[in-house]
Structure 1
Amino acid sequence: MSIPTEHPFDFDPTYGLGIEELRAIRPPEPPPNFDEFWRARYLRTLGVNPEPRLERSASSHPDWRVQDIVYASTDEFQIGGWLLLPRAGAVRRGLVVGHGYGGRDEPDFDIPVQETAVLFPCFRGLSRSRRAPISSDPEGHVLTGIDKPERYILGGCVEDLWMAVSVLTELYPEIAGRIGYGGVSFGGGVGALAIPFDRRIDRGHLSLPTFANMPLWLTLPTVGSGHAVQNYQRTHKDVLKTLRLFDAATAATRIQIPMLLAVARFDPVVAPPCQFSVANARPTSNHHETVILDAGHFDYPGAQEQQAQLSEKVRRFFGAT
């Protein structure tokens, strides 16, 4: 283990917690209408026709056929992204891949899957899905609509993910029931919110997931999107009423499919206690595995080795039938 000991932050990104203390953290209690809120959104999303439009991409790769894609999401939002199709072998599975709060400039060509149609959507307001007046800056994006739960941007991003699953099932009906999701940081939190309410998703990988354990998230110093929400809370004391409905750890307690979680002990952007709140929401078993990294959102000795080991686990996880 090589947790960083030197860093430029004016707070401790381990928050003074050891591994056993992190493993003991549990998700907060849900608000009374949590499940009803998300089930209604999911049913409403299923009524939207994604109308995917594909074009040959300027990007190319020897292992993948690359297509640019645009599809319709809720609120008449057009979502842009990329679709990768294997040059060798049939399409036997589907995978939706989320992104961090930095957005995405291109698909991840090193994703360790085969015989898989891989859809890389850009969530609304970010990268290929930019639209005024939504800020593409994380500290502005995370506040969009935060005063109205039905209009909060995170809910729209969850719907974009559900619509991505609809796109894959429309393009490749034969893979229905064999579609996974993988997301890191921002995409990890969005995935935790989306997965339990969409039974079309059969397995999920969440890495460094954010938006978890909101009562704690609002109190821990950070340089991530949580910092903007903490500043907002100073003049909007009731913001937790909205955030409790968007708690990734609360949602994770409802996940019933196989999961591979990756969480960090040191992270200045997504506080480790919040990450572990997601990982601890489901018991470790043959169907749920948690990988503990030394650090997240920060370079550290051994990072390449740990990421290589995680990549191999991801390959085996999404290669399972």
Structure 2
Amino acid sequence: MPSFPALSDSWFADAEFDASYGHTLSSLRAIAPIAAPGGFAERWQSWREQAKTMDAAPAVLSSETAHGRRVSVIEHAGVDGTRLRAWLVEPLSSPARVGVVHGHGYGGRGAVDLARVPDDAAAIFPVARGLPTLNAGIGAPEPQAEHVVAGIESTDSYVLGLCARDLWMAADALGTLVGSLPLYYVGESFGGGIGALALPWDDRFIGATLIVPSFGQYDERLAVQCLGSGETVRGYVAAHPEARDVLRLFDASSALGFARVPVRVEAALWDPYVPPQGQFGVANAARMLELAVLPAGHAGHPGLEKVTAEAIAGSRAHLARALRAAS
């Protein structure tokens, strides 16, 4: 297990609440993932089969050379036909050896981030439906409080499921534009959670890094306050208890147990936006887990630059091992 600086009680003395929620690493490692309900795998597999029949129909809208790569804005179809925009990054000097599908947090994405993308990789940076900058208000409402519960009346229409299934279409777009490649997933927070939902059902992926992943272990998430999207969901379920049954199909901790590729989870001991017990619920589900324990998530703290640099290096090394194992 990678070693990072220990969490200090003095770092967040002025915080609104204790975002460790009273947990220690030992108690977090003991949190069990939510057992998948009956029909869970069958439903996700059926969605995957439906997605295979669709044409991502990618189109390149513009291209430039930046960061020593070719960076293009593209458009592709989502699982319901909604046209979504993304960034595509390609190496300039030689063909790519691996493809990276790179998710983002709930704030959306304003530019590419190549920190975890090897020089010899092609990458697609999909932007989730509804979220800025490329897809603000497209296919889902933009405000987080509306986005996270959009379509929650039905498992087929719930936005988190659509966003996860859109990742398969983004991977299709990458393959169409740069050729068939082994794929590796990277996603943080929102992107970590929807990545965990999508990963097990797509055999093109050889591994993943999930950074402070959201949407895991809803029994734990719904029991505590937070500053992130979980608080909106908690309030909604309190007013609409029937929504809890819908959420059972979108628990990242239930889904990740079906993944049969190496997964690196970077989970935090203190996090006011994504409660650590949810993050560790996801990590504890992984069959082939590399766990990196971060002192804190969604918060600045002393030593953050060093923690971030070591985490990025660990993620790149994990991708390299996954690629060697798959070769």
TM-score normalised by the shorter chain: which range applies? Answer: over 0.9
Greater shift in the superposed pair: 185-194 or 166-175 = 166-175
For the pair 1:117 / 2:122, whether they are aligned, the reply is yes
State the alpha-carbon separation in 2 of the partners of residues 125 and 278 from structure 1: 25
State the alpha-carbon separation in 2 of the partners of residues 56 and 133 from structure 1: 22
- How much identity, in percent, do the aligned residues show? 34
Q: Indicate the SS of the match to 1:267.
A: coil
State the alpha-carbon separation in 2 of the partners of residues 314 and 29 from structure 1: 28
Counterpart for residue 270 of structure 2: 266
The structure 1 residue matched to 2:89, chosen from 77, 84, 89, is: 84
Counterpart for residue 2 of structure 1: 7
State the alpha-carbon separation in 2 of the partners of residues 43 and 52 from structure 1: 19
Q: Indicate the SS of the match to 2:194.
A: helix
The 5-angstrom pairing of residues 57-76 of structure 1 reads: 57=63, 60-76=65-81
Counterpart for residue 255 of structure 1: 259
* Structure 1 residues 133 and 84: CA distance shift in structure 2, 3 A: closer
Cα deviation for residue 111 of structure 1 reads 3.3
Counterpart for residue 38 of structure 2: 32
Cα deviation for residue 133 of structure 1 reads 7.4
State the alpha-carbon separation in 1 of the partners of residues 139 and 61 from structure 2: 27
Counterpart for residue 311 of structure 1: 312
Cα deviation for residue 8 of structure 1 reads 4.5
Gap regions ≥5 residues in structure 2: 1-5
State the alpha-carbon separation in 2 of the partners of residues 247 and 62 from structure 1: 36
Counterpart for residue 136 of structure 2: 130
Counterpart for residue 171 of structure 1: 177
Q: Indicate the SS of the match to 1:129.
A: coil
Q: Is the 8 A contact 1:2 1:301 kept in 2?
A: no
Greater shift in the superposed pair: 128-137 or 181-190 = 128-137
Letter in 2 for 1:116: A
Q: Is the 8 A contact 1:78 1:129 kept in 2?
A: no
Q: C-alpha offsets along residues 194-233 of structure 1, whole Å, 9 cap, x if unaligned? A: 0011111111110000000112111111000011111112
Q: Is the 8 A contact 2:88 2:174 kept in 1?
A: no
The structure 1 residue matched to 2:62, chosen from 56, 65, 77, is: 56
Q: Indicate the SS of the match to 1:162.
A: helix
State the alpha-carbon separation in 1 of the partners of residues 131 and 259 from structure 2: 27
* Structure 1 residues 256 and 17: CA distance shift in structure 2, 3 A: same
Cα deviation for residue 258 of structure 1 reads 1.1
Counterpart for residue 276 of structure 1: 280
State the alpha-carbon separation in 1 of the partners of residues 313 and 9 from structure 2: 24
Letter in 2 for 1:159: R
Q: Is the 8 A contact 1:112 1:312 kept in 2?
A: no
Q: How many residues align?
A: 315
| TM value normalised by structure 1 | 0.94
| TM value normalised by structure 2 | 0.92
Counterpart for residue 3 of structure 2: none
* Structure 1 residues 7 and 37: CA distance shift in structure 2, 3 A: farther
Counterpart for residue 298 of structure 1: 299
Q: C-alpha offsets along residues 227-278 of structure 1, whole Å, 9 cap, x if unaligned? A: 1111112220121101111000001111100111100000000000000011
Counterpart for residue 146 of structure 1: 152
The structure 2 residue matched to 1:161, chosen from 160, 167, 174, is: 167
Letter in 2 for 1:161: L
Give RMSD over aligned pairs: 1.5
Gap regions ≥5 residues in structure 1: none
Q: C-alpha offsets along residues 147-170 of structure 1, whole Å, 9 cap, x if unaligned? A: 111100011101110111111222
Counterpart for residue 224 of structure 2: 220
Q: Indicate the SS of the match to 1:143.
A: coil
Q: Is the 8 A contact 1:97 1:120 kept in 2?
A: yes
Letter in 1 for 2:144: P
Greater shift in the superposed pair: 228-237 or 43-52 = 228-237
Q: Indicate the SS of the match to 1:151.
A: coil
Q: Indicate the SS of the match to 1:314.
A: helix
State the alpha-carbon separation in 2 of the partners of residues 309 and 36 from structure 1: 38
The 5-angstrom pairing of residues 190-229 of structure 1 reads: 190-229=194-233
* Structure 1 residues 318 and 133: CA distance shift in structure 2, 3 A: closer
Q: Indicate the SS of the match to 2:206.
A: strand
* Structure 1 residues 280 and 61: CA distance shift in structure 2, 3 A: same
Cα deviation for residue 134 of structure 1 reads 2.8
Q: Indicate the SS of the match to 2:87.
A: strand
